[in-house]
Amino acid sequence: SGAAVLDDLVTEPNVDSVVAGIVGFAGLRPTLSAARAGKTILLANKEALVSAGGLFMETVRQGGATLLPVDSEHNAMHQCLPVASDGRPDMADVEKIILTASGGPFRGRSRSSLDAVTPAEACAHPNWSMGQKISVDSATLANKGLELAEACWLFDRSPDEIEIVVHPQSIVHSMIRYRDGSVLAQLGQPDMRTPIAYCLAWPERVDAGVEALDIVSAGRLDFEAPDLEAFPCLALAQWAITQPGGMCVFSAANEIAVAAFLAGEIRFTDIHRVIDAALKATDLAEPDSLDAVQALDQKAREAAQESIASGLTRSGS
């Protein structure tokens, strides 16, 4: 099968680095295989950390794999951290990680004003060029919830040690606050070629073909706290991260909800209700195997579909 071929490829003795760029669950098995084989993994598959974080990081540890995050925010964090003797980020003197968010196309809007938002409006991101699913996730701030979970696993931090800050210009990609009061930030154009080039060349640097950031023409950098009242998906994610298996359920239910919104079946403001319903309807437990991850993911999808079919989302607040 295709999965077996991928497993063989990523575990080949003459393969040093693996780019884990297959989206969704299909990418999880070969990414775990690469970790088991001790490869350098350029990680772009969210599911490995969001849905199977505990299992994946344990496999990375046991296999002696090296993880390099491709996602722009986590890549920025990696760039701002010193490297320990084992090649991993050295977190000893870190007080807080600051995860930046653009705020999406609806930043500054009230919750009630978002009821009538259309898929086309939700997919119009002000800074990044992205696919429909990730664009909607950016508009609801669900993507920051997913990225928060990723950062917790990647850098072995609790959610309390990671602060989410809205930064509409998308020039500062993330920051690290150290215990001596210093804050290191990674700045650059919103262009994925930079984090990809960083991972491919690490620990060296190469020309990524990206136009240099002109800090003078950028003019100003704004920062504000996220509005959890207007964007409840982020608050839900912050809670789900503290529950065993919570983010696996959150991620799966969010996928179902976003697909339903794009198909015109639910409103933009119903997305968080579908996720909430799935979190309440699913027995939460930390999955300790790939089969357990898939079973929990499936249960969450069914619970989300049930809440959409019942129409209960529309009666919620």
84 located within any domain: yes
CATH code of the domain covering residue 290? 1.10.1740.10
Give the per-residue pLDDT at 315. 45
134 located within any domain: yes
Which residue, 231, 263, 298, sits at the end of a domain?
Answer: 231
314 located within any domain: no
Residues 284 and 207 in one domain: no
Give the per-residue pLDDT at 130. 74
Domain that holds residue 274: 243-306
Confidence of residue 299 (pLDDT cuts 50, 70, 90): very high
Residues 226 and 182 in one domain: yes
237 located within any domain: no
Q: Inform me whether the pLDDT recorded for 317 exceeds 50.
A: no
More confident residue, 68 or 24: 68
Q: How many helices and strands (H and E) does the chain possess?
A: 14, 7
93 located within any domain: yes
If we measure between CA atoms, which residue out of 80, 124, 129 comes closest to residue 104?
Answer: 124
Residues 22 and 141 in one domain: no
Place of tokens 């969010």: 254
Which residue, 164, 199, 231, sits at the end of a domain?
Answer: 231
Question: Going edge to edge, which strands form the sheet with 40-43?
Answer: 17-20, 40-43, 66-69
CA atoms within 13 A on the CB side of 258: 23
HEC profile of 239-287: HHCCCCCHHHHHHHHHHHHHHHHHCCCCCHHHHHHHHHHHHHHCCCCCC
Confidence of residue 154 (pLDDT cuts 50, 70, 90): very high
HEC profile of 115-176: CCCCHHHHCCCCCCCCCHHHHHHHHHCHHHHHHHHHHHHHCCCCHHHEEEEECCCCCEEEEE
Residues 92 and 220 in one domain: yes
Burial class (CB in 10 A: 0-12, 13-18, 19+), 28: buried
pLDDT tens figures, 6-41: 888 999 999 999 999 887 778 899 999 999 999 999
Question: Which residues are CB-neighbours of 1 under 8 A, at least 6 positions away?
Answer: none
Residues 213 and 94 in one domain: yes
Give the per-residue pLDDT at 126. 66
- The tally of domains found in the chain comes to 3
Q: What is the pTM of this model?
A: 0.93
The H or E element spanning position 48 is helix 47-50
Residues 217 and 76 in one domain: yes
Confidence of residue 316 (pLDDT cuts 50, 70, 90): very low
Rounded Cα distance between 71 and 241, Å, is: 19
Residues 106 and 23 in one domain: no
pLDDT tens figures, 78-137: 999 998 877 789 999 999 999 999 999 999 999 999 999 999 999 986 666 678 898 999
CATH code of the domain covering residue 61? 3.40.50.720
pLDDT above 70 coverage of the chain, percent: 96
User: ∠128-132-137 over CA atoms, to 5°?
Assistant: 75
Give the per-residue pLDDT at 169. 94
Residues 60 and 84 in one domain: no
Length reported for the chain: 317
